[in-house]
Amino acid sequence: MPSPTEPLRKLGFLTIGLFDRADPRAGHESTLEIIQLGERLGFDSAWLRHRHLQYGISSPVAVLAAASQRTSRIELGTAVIPLGWENPLRLAEDLATADLLSGGRLNPGVSVGPPMNYDTVKDALYPDTADAEDFSYRRVERLLANIAGEQITDFSGAKGVVEVFSERVEPHAPGLRERLWYGGASLRSAQWAGEHRMNFLTSSVVKAEQAEDFAEIQLSHIRAFRAAHPDGERARVSQGLVVIPTDSATADQKARYAAYVDKRTPRTAAPQGPARMMFAKDLIGTSEQLAEQLSAHAAFREVDEVAFALPFSFEHDDYVQILTDMATKLGPALGWQPAAG
């Protein structure tokens, strides 16, 4: 079996946090319980997807703030917050607050671009400025400056009897700027993230710009990011693929998992749509089989951090089984050791 250059150093997982429209609290509680389980199993990080106007977590910062009060060690991330929906100043306040509540464990991941289905939502989201909004990298730069504590106003000091104002975003969370991640799917995004000293999230979707082999494309992004980053080879990259270990799965679970993968596999054969997006194949099998597949994956061999994505539509007990197998079988097969209590 091929071996990665280095043993896997950090093992994380990513979840969408689905809920039922009629009972949304139950789904949010399930997500919090899964994060708590992840900490008990020794995972290094737990990440939340971000969904607007859908039945998935729309406010991951709020959920992670809650998770921070139920955990003590596991890092808490977002993969990713689409900044087209956000005001960078207000988001900086929320991220800093959640980071302080967590004791410095927040790892916010962000991306840019117009909101999904923008034409259908722009009048509700930006009723007066929809055509003037800037969805470029400049939006990330504003967030970075706000998180870093740069001056944003000339007004500060006391006003009146009790009001005292700051020239920067408050609260300020020291160290949070170094824990910001960019979720990129193109060479330009990878380079931009490196140039701006961010960490880089590369997931199961990439742009087929120079090739049509997923692993080859992802590898080129990782190398472009590190070539542009001041830290070079030490710059942090986390890879996110859908990985489904079946070691302790029941026969019913295995059948449902296989059907899920089969349904999604056809889209991985060729670039999809005008943007030529390439989707990675979902990986399913025993931990031994998965370790062999991952160790042969060109991009996986280039990283020592992962945040394996949990499938979208599974049940709570399915996630318990998958996470348990990841932590007790797959992770060790990749050279990973669970974090101490």
pLDDT for position 162: 85
CA distances from residue 130 to 51, 84, 118, 120, 181 in whole angstroms, order as listed:
20, 11, 9, 11, 26
CA dihedral 240, 241, 245, 250 (to 10 degrees): 110
What pTM did the predictor assign?
Answer: 0.96
How many CA atoms does the CB half-sphere of 314 hold within 13 Å? 27
Indicate the CATH number for domain 10-153+173-250+262-333.
3.20.20.30
The mean pLDDT value for 326-334 works out to 98
How many other C-beta atoms are found inside a 10 Å radius of the C-beta of residue 333? Answer: 19
Query: Does residue 3 carry a pLDDT above 90?
Result: no
Structure tokens at 242: 């859908």
DSSP secondary structure, 249-287, as one string = --HHHHHHHHHHHHHHGGGGSS-BTTTTEEEPPPEEE-H
Q: Over the stretch 177-228, which tens digit does the pLDDT of each residue have?
A: 999 999 999 999 999 999 999 999 999 999 999 899 999 999 999 999 999 9
126-157 residue pLDDT tens: 999 999 999 999 999 999 999 999 999 999 99
Per-residue pLDDT tens over the stretch 252-282 = 999 999 999 999 999 999 999 999 999 999 9
Annotate 193-220 with DSSP letters as a single string. HHHTT-EEEE-SEEE-SS-S-HHHHHHH
Query: How do the domains of the chain map onto residue ranges?
Result: 10-153+173-250+262-333
User: For the segment 95-131, what is each residue's pLDDT rounded down to a tens digit?
Assistant: 999 999 999 999 999 999 999 999 999 999 999 999 9
